[in-house]
Amino acid sequence: MTLHSSRRRFLVQGASVAAAVAAVPALVHAQGQPVLKAGDQKGGLRALLEAAGGLEGLGYDIQWSEFPAAAPLAEALNAAAVDSGPIGDAPLIFALAAGTRVKAIGANRSDSYGTAVLVRPDSPLKTAADLKSRSVATNRGSIGHYVTLKAITSAGLKPEDVNIRFLAPADAKLALTQGSVDAWATWEPYTALAEVSNHARVLVSGRGLLPGLSYLAATDGAIAAKRPVLQDFLQRVVKAQLWSYRNVDAYSAALARIIGIPPEAAKLQFERRQQKWVAIDAQVIADQQGTADFYRRVGLIKQPLDVKGTFDTGFGVAG
């Protein structure tokens, strides 16, 4: 199966929530197959599944919608414009606190180095403490926002000591390179791409600060109506990830081609993430509770959040 033939299996839509909602009436397959409305982020599940040939023999169709960050993906989940999508631990907390009716159905652990605060190569900043009275661009509620707050509080600063400007990744990158902000807090593949292109260096990484969790989240409605489809999709993702680590060069080349980044950036971000799908166990839940409690302490969410009820542990992740 080629990458081109696998792409033809999809009902591909645009990245906006409005486009996804507008497409809903067209989601009835001619043969009556179910349709999974899958949200994604750049370099995410679609690229992985295409590269691994993980979409053979589907008993359902996939409508893909790509989002530049977790916040618009969470909005799409909240609007039921997508059924499911990959989302980081901190953005999931932010979405749940806002009332989004979703649950995590699969958990993924990775090295958090690539979730980082970046500065220009010639920046005088050397440590997180140097961010005092400086400006940092990131997405509100994102893992970039999370690593910023963890970095500055770990350095003894308060959130109000830093000027956080909320910008989408493309705008944040431009702001950093043009000098209108002092730092950019982001995630992979943006971190690797910025490093390889010599646009930025890592000031503070998430390694040692963050638990490195991300999830496959699904709406309550999709879990109720499309559980077998979601289970099959999750298993395909798990198997595709196992394939990717057995075929690093092939996957990195395919990822670079699919999402349009240099091969060296694709390989760098992939190799250092060391992702692994894991069972939703007591440690995962405890780490997620820690993230929720941290967000409460710094004022990003207004009420305490008990995360135990935000997981559906009935989905297996056997490789």
CATH of the domain at 261: 3.40.190.10
Asked if residue 101 and residue 82 are part of one domain, the reply reads yes
Residues 245, 184, single domain; the answer is no
pLDDT of residue 68: 85
State pTM to two decimals. Answer: 0.85
Domain count, the chain: 2
Would you call the peptide bond into 189 cis, given omega within 30 degrees of 0 as the criterion? Answer: yes
- Mean pLDDT of the region 286-310: 95
pLDDT above 80 for 223: yes
Pairing of β 61-67 and β 35-41: parallel
**Distance (Å) of CA 95 to CA 88, 111, 125, 188, 203:** 11, 23, 32, 21, 28
Residue 319: band (very low, low, confident or very high) from pLDDT cuts 50, 70, 90? low
Length of the chain (residues) = 319
Q: What is the pLDDT of residue 318?
A: 66
Classify the C-alpha dihedral 124-129-133-137 as positive or negative: positive
Do 223 and 196 belong together in one domain? no
Are 268 and 178 in a shared domain?
A: no
Are 170 and 227 in the same domain? no
Instruction: Confirm whether 319 is domain-assigned.
Output: no
**For residues 21-31, average pLDDT:** 42
Mean of the pLDDT values across residues 152-163? 97
pLDDT at 286 over 80: yes
Is the same domain home to 76 and 152? Answer: no
**One domain for residues 103 and 9:** yes
Q: Judge if 139 and 277 occupy the same domain.
A: no
Containing structural domain, residue 124: 116-205
Q: Is 316 within a domain?
A: no
Within this chain, do residues 190 and 250 fall inside the same structural domain, yes or no?
no
Residue 21 pLDDT more than 70?
A: no
